[in-house]
A and B are shown apart, each in its own frame.
Chain A
Amino acid sequence: MKLTRRNFLLSLAGGLVGINLTPLPWKLMDDISIWTQNWPWVPVPERGRFYHEKSVCTLCQGGCGIKIRKVDGVKDDRAVKIEGREDFPVNRGGICPIGAGGLQLLYDESLRFTSPMKRAGLRGSGNFLNISWDEALEILAKRIIDLRQKGSPEKIVAIDGNRKGSTVSLLIERLMKAIGSPNYIRVPDMEDTYSVACILMCGREYPLSFDLENSDYILSFGCGLIDGWLSPGRVISAWSMWHGELKEKVKVVQIDSRASDTASKATEWIAIKPGTETALALGLCHVIVKEGIYDRDFVKRWTFGFEDWIDEKGNIHMGFKNMVLKRYDPEKVSEITGVPASRIVSVAREFAKARAPVAIFGREKGDLPGSTYEYMAILALNALVGSINRPGGILLQDPVPLKSLPEVPLDRIAKEGLKRRRIDRAGEKEAPFTHSLIYRLSEEINRSKRSPVELLLVFSANPSYTLPDGGEFKKALRKIPFIVSFSPFKDETALMSDLILPDHTYLEKMDEVVWPKGIQYPAYLLSKQAVKPVYNTRHCGDVIIELAKRIGLSKAFPWRSFEDVVKYRAKGLYEAKGRVSWNGEPPWKIKRVSSDYRSFDEMWEKLKDGGLWYKPSDVYGKYEFMTPSKRFEFFSQTLMNYKDSLKDMGIKEEGDVAFMPHFEEEDYPEDYPYRMVIYEMINLSSSWIPSPPFVYKTIFDNQLLKDENFADINPKTAKELGIKQGDRILLTSPSGKIKLRANLTHIARPGCVYVALGFGHTGYDEFIKGKGENPNWIVWGKRDPISGYKIWWSVPVKISKA
């Protein structure tokens, strides 16, 4: 017996046959495949018992209750999931895609600033050096002190993207006042346009409040009801209520130039020429007035300027009735809007005869300002059918009863500084009802040789990306000598900054939603620190207080922390006797509730834990207009007081018509024959908050393909231009051009081209930046008359093959 080569091979062969008759190969194969699933970098869910931290989402001002799922015993108190809260009246369990993906905004280190930083490389290069909080605050305090000592505190400008009336925004405004700069500038949204319209027709500003759940006929002027409008959690649960729970049929009529998701799912879709909504609203008014189907009682008792009227001097003025009868007959409106006259008549009749109709405004998500005359026309339409302070209508009510902060003590420098003119000239004759005009700020900087702004502070805003201003702001940033960002994220504006004082992200801090956008009852929501701060960041509110101390303005800030200020303001809530827990009864169905707290401390603890304070609305049937006539003014006497500056405000009309809602045709340059219309998507953030990278998985291939985004074009228009599906095209407006790919679809109106907001970032990380183009960069247009905000909803463009 010799182990020759042959015999060796034979034994191997025997082994091979033998081994296949044992379980070994099969078992090994199974084990190896399981082993590959257990590589340490393969993400697996944490094991252990779940528990939830209840809080409130503050990514937008919709005010959804959220619960953050954590796993017991997992280190660093790591959150693993965000869900909607069922015990919350606003969203009743719902949550939007951005909110559900929010954990990435917390844990994705490449999206965030992890420590205070100062710029190391060229502006915008993204090179920063970590510094300590002490050093960062010292750098900023020194600059502010310097400018104050030089006697030019007005060269310090703050841009604030926080909600108006929120504690952080009050602190920022307060800091600016105490420093002595009048240049506190807000990032505008639809609430600002609504404020102007309300001042003119109702006499003062009111919180945005639509009683949608009690309505049976919703006439939506371009509101993306299921595309993320105002408070997606609330509106989508109302939508499912209209289409399911209720016995009564609720009709949703969507006026939109594009067959958006909302238009496709609405009861009816009215395809309109973009930018002509005002004319349509007035056309509907015409039919309602002509056929006498308006709410005569309301119009008679509570409105002014419906009929022609005579002023104190004996001059006769045209009233709203005659104005719409003369100017807006269905035939003419049909010509302007492209909506058939018969359709205008039938919708007007249905609207006026519905039990509780409401006409609502705020294009797309309601994040951007709108047209003042359009909002006025829609308010007038509601007033005609009596849908003001009536169940199902628009509600005008007092703001959340928070206690006001004490007066700001001013030193000599501050007193002098506050006398200076605002750089944006808001409140002057060109925009007398507007508090701040960010567009004008960039214009002034770009026009001047030397920037009138020495030091720019940016809070919760990314105007470089989000402003539909044709890139004006982005350009202006380059000229500002020193920029400080308080953003937690590496957004486009922050990347242009010289100093970063990073805020916590929303899950790491106490923050508020003062009156969730659009809901019909006063509510105050408080989020909590649901997760311990992951990085070396600090609450912006605390940083402002600390900064004020370093500048020597501690008298204006007698608080130790942000929480102290919130607690101070909450005293007003205690006195108003609301509720801090929800018993499941829809707040829009009940008239009165008993308060569920006895002492302030009890309320405060419950509010901090559950995040909710609310009170049912009590304005139904109550009318307190603050206009000169103490009525709802179809004819705005407030505006008439400014009749000498109509031209400055950008109003073409002269005489009585100018003081009533009316339609003014835009002048577009003739060589730009097409219109670009910007739209928003519920699964993509277009605000200053980045989209969680997860949501890019939900974007279709005809919206974004690799690094190119698409423009929706009607096949008919595409044929005229010789464009085929997927072709690369160039959109050129008078202010610039963007390159996209064409998506041929019948949801687009012929002659228009539709581009989504949310793509085209140059900041953040590899998952977000460099994906497509941002239509904001080529927005070109006049100012909206009266408010002074830029018109972004219809941009003249040329389309060519690239």
Chain B
Amino acid sequence: MLLWKKEEVRDLFEAVFFFLAGFFLALIIGWFIFPIALYSEHRQPIDFSHAIHLENVEGDTLEEKCLYCHEFYEDGTFSGIPRNEKCLECHDPESPLGEDPEEKRFLEEYLSKGKEIPWYHYFRQPPCVYFPHIAHVKMAKLSCKTCHGDHGTSDHLPVYQENRISGYSRNIWGKHISGYKKNTWDRMKMDDCAECHRKMGHEENNTCFTCHK
């Protein structure tokens, strides 16, 4: 019959304790501390309300309204975040359109000085990725929301989180550190592109050279 000595029991208990301590500590680090440490946070230079702008720009549908500022150039390339040139179509550097102090700051610090706002880009893909907006918006008729979620209707710009290692926005990997995804706009990794192509019956677009030219 096997009898456990007292010391041996304590020993075992101790071993299990230390093992689990390491185990749980790692879980805490991996699930909670790591995501906090991985990203640095930046406030945008100017706060911007997409909601207010949506009310004031022309367009019958939401997409048309978005395209009013985030336009396509004649050659089909996408403008991305508009430059001052676009803002000047409505804003006058001399007199603000509203009472928001942020607008006033924008007019004084940037527009009147001819300085572009150094925005942080939430949705910028690495340079090795060729992503034509026009193929997705005009040909596939995707709505902006499919990839960008509610960003286009938000009242304030969220804090920009930058991956300290890769230098890219957190929106690419997604908010959930595990990569968990509920909506199409939760992540913007290659697998997400591929998943959608597959669903839409465009498996042929998943060849390497389609995006990595």
Contact = CB atoms under 8 A, between A and B. Distances in A.
Contact of A18 (B17, B23, B163, B178): B23
Interface residues of A, number: 35
Contacts of B21: 11, 14
Contacts of B116: 73
Nearest to A32: B165
Given A6-B15, A10-B15, A13-B19, A24 B167 contact: no
Given A24-B29, A50-B75, A35 B18 contact: no
Interface string B164-185: 0111100001000111000000
A23 B14 contact: no
Contacts of A1: 14, 17
A28 B179 contact: no
A12 to B, nearest CB: 6
Interface stretch (B30-38, B137-145, B196-204): B30-38
Nearest to B130: A45
B30 A24 contact: yes
A21 B30 contact: yes
Contacts of A24: 29-30, 34
A132 interface: no
A22 interface: yes
A31 interface: yes
Contacts of A246: none
Given A19-B29, A38-B167, A8 B18 contact: yes
B79 interface: yes
A363 B202 CA distance: 49
A12 B177 contact: no
B158 interface: no
B163 A31 contact: yes
A22 B18 contact: no
B166 A35 contact: yes
B: interface residue count bin: 35 or more
Contacts of A37: 126, 128
B59 to A, nearest CB: 22
Interface in A17-46: 17-19, 21-24, 27-28, 30-32, 34-35, 37-38, 44-45
Interface in B44-97: 73, 75, 77, 79, 83
B41 to A, nearest CB: 17
Contacts of B73: 49-50
B193 to A, nearest CB: 15
Contacts of A8: 18
A673 interface: no
A22 B30 contact: yes
B165 A31 contact: yes
A2 to B, nearest CB: 8
A1 B30 CA distance: 26
A766 to B, nearest CB: 27
Contacts of B19: 10-11, 13-14
Contact of A27 (B14, B29, B177): B177
Interface in A657-699: none
B8 to A, nearest CB: 14
Scoring B23, B38, B79 by chain A CB atoms within 10 A of each residue's CB, the highest score goes to: B23
B127 A22 contact: no
Given A11-B18, A11-B19, A23-B178, A18 B34 contact: no
B34 A35 contact: no
A23 B126 contact: no
A18 B30 contact: yes
Contacts, number: 104
B31 A19 contact: no
Nearest to B176: A23
B114 interface: no
B27 interface: yes
B167 A15 contact: no
A14 B26 contact: yes
A330 B179 CA distance: 80
B123 to A, nearest CB: 13
Contacts of A17: 23, 26
Given A11-B21, A27-B38, A16 B26 contact: yes
A377 B180 CA distance: 79
Interface in A45-90: 45, 47, 49-50, 73
B211 interface: no
A201 to B, nearest CB: 50
B75 A14 contact: no
Contacts of A14: 18-26
A644 B69 CA distance: 82
Contacts of A50: 73, 75, 77
A264 interface: no
A45 B213 CA distance: 11
Nearest to A28: B165
A557 B98 CA distance: 64
A7 interface: yes
B34 to A, nearest CB: 5
B26 A27 contact: no
Contact of B26 (A10, A19, A45): A19
Contacts of A49: 73, 77, 79, 83
Contacts of B167: 35, 38
Scoring B22, B25, B73, B77 by chain A CB atoms within 10 A of each residue's CB, the highest score goes to: B22
Contact of A23 (B30, B127, B168): B30
B22 A23 contact: no
Interface string A143-179: 0000000000000000000000000000000000000
Given A31-B163, A37-B126, A38-B167, A23 B18 contact: no
Given A10-B19, A18-B25, A44-B127, A23 B166 contact: no
Contacts of B22: 10-16, 18
Nearest to B121: A47
Nearest to A1: B14
Contacts of A13: 19, 22
A771 B85 CA distance: 51
A34 B126 contact: yes
Contact of A7 (B15, B77, B163, B178): B15
A625 B68 CA distance: 65
A323 to B, nearest CB: 61
Nearest to A72: B83
Contacts of B20: 14
Contacts of A32: 165
B18 A10 contact: yes
B26 A15 contact: yes
A17 B25 CA distance: 11
B162 to A, nearest CB: 11
Scoring A2, A8, A27, A37 by chain B CB atoms within 10 A of each residue's CB, the highest score goes to: A27
Interface of B: 14-15, 17-27, 29-31, 34, 38, 73, 75, 77, 79, 83, 116, 126-128, 163, 165-168, 173, 177-179
Interface of A: 1-3, 6-8, 10-19, 21-24, 27-28, 30-32, 34-35, 37-38, 44-45, 47, 49-50, 73
7 contacts: A10-B18, A19-B30, A22-B34, A31-B166, A38-B166, A49-B79, A73-B116
Given A1-B14, A28-B165, 17 more contacts: A6-B15, A7-B18, A10-B19, A14-B18, A14-B23, A14-B24, A14-B25, A15-B25, A18-B24, A19-B26, A31-B38, A34-B126, A34-B166, A35-B167, A37-B128, A38-B126, A49-B73
Those 8 A-B pairs whose CB atoms lie nearest each other, nearest first: A22-B30, A18-B26, A14-B22, A11-B22, A14-B23, A15-B22, A44-B127, A34-B166
